[in-house]
Copies of this chain bind each other. A is one copy, B any other.
Amino acid sequence: MLALAYGALVVIGTLLLKLPVSRTTSLSWLDALFTSTSAVTVTGLAVADTGSQFTFFGQVVIMLLIQLGGLGLMTFAVLLLTALGVSVGLPQRVVLREELGQSSLHNLVQLAGLVLRVALIIEAAGAVLLAYPFTRDMGLWPGLWAAVFHSVSAFNNAGFALWPDSLVRYVGDPVVNLVIAAQFMVGGIGFIVIGDIWQKRNWRRLTLHSKLMLTGTALLVAWGWFIIATLEWTNPATLGGLSWGDKLLASFFQGVSPRTAGFNTIDINGLHDPTALVVILLMLVGGGSTSTAGGIKVTTFIVLVLTMIAFFKRRMALQIFGRTLGVESVFRVMALTAVSLLIVMTSIFVISISHDGAIFNLGFEVASAFGTVGLTRGTTGELDTLGRCIIMAVMFIGRVGPLTLGFLLATRAVPRVRYPEGQVFLG
């Protein structure tokens, strides 16, 4: 159902973008479809330059697709989870009731309203702040429009920018860097966490999910920042030519952005290979559940890490912040991660059969699509029709897949036959 709604939105977007009033040049059906998919899935990979190949009307269409695709899913996720908590026997039910205090359909509507209100307030505040640098550089009306567009794009982690090189021209601008980064970090941490913080305002009373998300995000951001700053510090293609302060700012921005935002202030194609490898891993992890982010999600990654730690401590139980995570979590995480790797690997494999470029850059592009990130080393533009179709499919799966899978698991079947337990040797 979710997939159908998204598919319909993609089709409507394609038709609107194909209208002559939307574009300044010719645009093939495939490219219109690609752009619409990229906007609805808030990925940001582009085969047409948003700033020059689309008119103001076309850009408004893209912005609306981003808003509906990003917020729609976020609202839908919260509604779905809450609905499941009320009516279906999901184990999360108790948590959700505790966290959100929802127990009737009336509250559901209220909650959806809250999601939308918070989003619009943050987007409006972002636009006001961005208006200063953008009107200064572009004049009044174009600057205001750029402020609105990038604010929506940032909060929804869409990564669409009106400049062909994303935000490279604002690499040293603290307002642009900090406002946009703050927006996509809030948008990417997940509404459940925001709501929890808003309600409790006290670390110790936060839910386990919020604590994990905040700690995990802080660690991933610190790690990304550190790696990019260290490895790229003297790279003339990226940080090399910048001042000390700009190096720190740009490496911070680029360390946060791969976790689903997709904006860049330095040339992604100029990154050293090991840096690009770390960016790929960050893109695959993505952001928070019930957020505008893609990827396997931060909590999934944390459970993976906790499993490793438990393994080395010779324990079967995952313990964190005074709570135990059941084996069901381990089961879900393994299935999710395995399915994700399968999708990513299969996509790289199929595209590489007909694509001639470096397979590492192709892997970067597929990871970017799966995490709905939108960072690119240039390969997406070079892909043939098959390659573009697969990237579109991966963006779509990266966006609606995990939630759909979550729904599948929520309505779990109990096996009718119980077999005796078997044992195999592993490792």
7 more contacts with CB within 8 A, not counting A274-B352, A311-B336, are A276-B359, A311-B339, A322-B420, A323-B421, A324-B420, A330-B331, A406-B426
A426, B315: Cβ atoms closer than 8 Å: no
- What 1/0 flags go to A332-345 for Cβ under 8 Å of B? 11111111001001
- What 1/0 flags go to A288-321 for Cβ under 8 Å of B? 0110000011011011110110111111110111
> Which of A122-130, A252-260, A408-416 lies on the face that meets chain B?
A408-416
A358 on the B face (CB < 8 A):
yes
B273, A352: Cβ atoms closer than 8 Å: yes
Given A92-B425, A403-B427, A427-B289, residue A335 in contact with residue B315 (CB < 8 A): no
CB distance from A339 to the nearest CB of B (A): 6
B325, A94: Cβ atoms closer than 8 Å: no
Given A314-B409, A349-B274, A353-B231, residue A95 in contact with residue B327 (CB < 8 A): no
A381 on the B face (CB < 8 A):
no
CA A390 – CA B108 in complex, angstroms?
55
A408, B314: Cβ atoms closer than 8 Å: yes
Would you list which residues of chain A between 372 and 427 have a CB under 8 Å from chain B?
402-403, 405-406, 408-409, 411-415, 417-427
CA A327 – CA B313 in complex, angstroms?
18
Name 17 interchain pairs, CB-CB below 8 A, sorted by A.
A208-B422, A208-B424, A277-B349, A299-B424, A302-B424, A303-B426, A307-B331, A308-B342, A312-B408, A315-B415, A317-B415, A323-B420, A325-B424, A358-B360, A402-B427, A406-B426, A406-B427
B330, A419: Cβ atoms closer than 8 Å: no
For residue A52, which residues in chain B have a CB less than 8 angstroms away from its CB?
none
A338, B304: Cβ atoms closer than 8 Å: yes
CA A273 – CA B362 in complex, angstroms?
11
CB distance from A111 to the nearest CB of B (A): 15
A212 on the B face (CB < 8 A):
yes
For residue A415, which residues in chain B have a CB less than 8 angstroms away from its CB?
315, 317, 319
A68 on the B face (CB < 8 A):
no
Q: Which A residues are closer than 8 A to B by beta carbons?
A: 81, 91-92, 94-95, 190, 192, 208-209, 212, 231, 272-274, 276-278, 281, 289-290, 296-297, 299-300, 302-305, 307-308, 310-317, 319-339, 342, 345, 348-350, 352-353, 358-360, 402-403, 405-406, 408-409, 411-415, 417-427
Closest to A404 in B: B427
Given A212-B424, A325-B424, residue A277 in contact with residue B348 (CB < 8 A): yes
CB distance from A268 to the nearest CB of B (A): 15
* Max chain B Cβ within 10 angstroms of own Cβ: one of A311, A334, A350, A427: A427
* Max chain B Cβ within 10 angstroms of own Cβ: one of A276, A338, A412: A338
For residue A92, which residues in chain B have a CB less than 8 angstroms away from its CB?
423, 425
CA A281 – CA B408 in complex, angstroms?
28
CA A199 – CA B96 in complex, angstroms?
55
B426, A323: Cβ atoms closer than 8 Å: no
Which 5 pairs from chain A and chain B are nearest by CB? A323-B422, A311-B335, A402-B427, A289-B425, A208-B422
